[in-house]
Chain A
Amino acid sequence: MQVDTLELSQKFNLYGCIQCGKCVGGCPVSMKTALDVRFLIYEALVGVLPDPTHMEELWDCTCCFTCVERCPKDVKPAELIIGLRSLLVESGTIPKTVTDALQGIFRQGNPLGFAREQRADWAKDLNIKSAQEGCELLYFVGCTPAYDLRLQPVAKALAKTFQKAGLDFGTLGIEETCCGNEVRRVGEQGLFEMLVEEGKPLLESTGAKQIVTISPHCFNTFKKEYGLSGMQVSHYTQVVANLLEAGKIKFGGRVEKKVTYHDPCFLGKQNHIFDEPRAILQAIPGVKFVEMDRIRERSLCCEGGGGRMWVEGTNMEERLAFQRVQEAVETGAEVLAVACPFCLLTLEDAVKVKGLEDKLRVMDIMELVNMAL
Chain B
Amino acid sequence: MIQVTIDTHPIEVEEGTTILEAAQRLGINIPTLCHHPALEPYGACRLCTVEITQNGRSQLVTSCNYPIRREIEVQTASEKVVKGRRLLAELLLARCSNVPKVQELAASLGVTQVRFEPHDELCYLCGLCVRVCRERIGQSAISFVGRGVDRQVGPPFLKFSTDCIACGACAFVCPTGAIQLKDITDKEPRPLLSEFDMGLARRGNIYIPFPQAVPKIPVIDREHCLHYTLGRCETCEVFCQAKAINYDQEDEFLDLDADAIIVATGFDLIDPRTKPEFGYGVYPNVLTGLEFERLSSASGPTMGEIIVNGKKPKDVVFIHCVGSRDPHTGVPYCSRVCCMYTAKHAHLVRDKLPEANITAFYMDVRAFGKGYEEFYDRVRHERILYRRGEPSEVYKRGDRLVVRAEDTLLRKSIEVEADMIVLATAVTPRADTAAMATLLGIERSPDGFFQEAHPKFRPVESTRPNIFLAGCCQGPKDIPDTVAQAKAAASSAMVTLSRVSRSRTA
A371 at the interface (CB under 8 A from B): no
Contact, CB under 8 Å: A298 / B326: no
Per-residue contact bits, chain A 82-103, to B (CB 8 Å; 1 contact, 0 not): 0000000000000000000000
Contact, CB under 8 Å: A31 / B415: yes
B240-264 at interface with A (beta carbon < 8 Å): none
Residues of B within 8 A of A21 (CB): 363, 388-390, 392, 405-408
Query: Chain B: how many interface residues by the 8 Å CB criterion?
Result: 27
Residues of A within 8 A of B413 (CB): 24-25, 27, 30-31, 36
B276 at the interface (CB under 8 A from A): yes
Per-residue contact bits, chain A 70-88, to B (CB 8 Å; 1 contact, 0 not): 1011100000000000000
Contact, CB under 8 Å: B276 / A296: yes
Residues of A within 8 A of B276 (CB): 296-298
Contact, CB under 8 Å: A298 / B395: yes
A329 → chain B closest CB, angstroms: 15
A198-225 at interface with B (beta carbon < 8 Å): none
Contact, CB under 8 Å: B363 / A18: yes
Residue in A25, A70, A296, A298 whose Cβ sees the most chain B Cβ within 10 Å: A25
- Take A19-B408, A27-B413 as given contacts and tell me if A74 and B327 are in contact as well, using a CB distance cutoff of 8 Å: yes
Residues of B within 8 A of A19 (CB): 363, 408
B187 → chain A closest CB, angstroms: 25
Per-residue contact bits, chain B 310-348, to A (CB 8 Å; 1 contact, 0 not): 000000000001000111100000000000000000000
A66 at the interface (CB under 8 A from B): yes
B369-405 at interface with A (beta carbon < 8 Å): 388-396, 404-405
B323 → chain A closest CB, angstroms: 9
Residues of B within 8 A of A70 (CB): 277, 392
Contact, CB under 8 Å: A293 / B388: no
Residues of B within 8 A of A18 (CB): 325, 363-364
B194 → chain A closest CB, angstroms: 30
A22 at the interface (CB under 8 A from B): yes
B279 at the interface (CB under 8 A from A): yes
Residue in A26, A30, A296, A297 whose Cβ sees the most chain B Cβ within 10 Å: A26
Query: Which residue on chain A has the smallest CB distance to residue B283?
Result: A293
A44 at the interface (CB under 8 A from B): no
Residues of B within 8 A of A297 (CB): 276-277
B393 → chain A closest CB, angstroms: 5
Residues of B within 8 A of A350 (CB): none
A184 → chain B closest CB, angstroms: 24
Residues of A within 8 A of B395 (CB): 293-294, 298
Residues of B within 8 A of A73 (CB): 326-327
A38 at the interface (CB under 8 A from B): yes
- Take A30-B406, A72-B325, A297-B277 as given contacts and tell me if A25 and B392 are in contact as well, using a CB distance cutoff of 8 Å: yes
Contact, CB under 8 Å: B406 / A298: no
- In the bound complex, what is the Cα–Cα distance between A38 and B415 (angstroms)? 17
In the complex, 29 of the A-B residue pairs with CB atoms within 8 angstroms, ordered by the A residue number, are A18-B325, A18-B364, A20-B321, A20-B363, A20-B390, A21-B363, A21-B390, A21-B392, A22-B391, A24-B389, A26-B392, A26-B393, A27-B392, A27-B406, A31-B404, A31-B413, A31-B415, A36-B406, A38-B406, A70-B392, A72-B328, A72-B390, A73-B327, A293-B395, A297-B276, A297-B277, A298-B276, A298-B279, A298-B393
Residues on B lying within 8 angstroms of A by beta carbon are 276-277, 279, 321, 325-328, 363-364, 388-396, 404-408, 411, 413, 415
Interface contacts beyond A21-B407, A72-B326, A298-B276: sample of 16 additional A-B pairs, CB < 8 Å, sorted by A: A18-B364, A20-B321, A20-B408, A21-B408, A22-B390, A25-B391, A25-B413, A26-B392, A26-B393, A27-B392, A27-B413, A31-B415, A36-B411, A36-B413, A38-B408, A74-B328
Shortest beta-carbon contacts, A-B, top 6: A25-B392, A26-B392, A21-B389, A72-B326, A24-B406, A20-B363
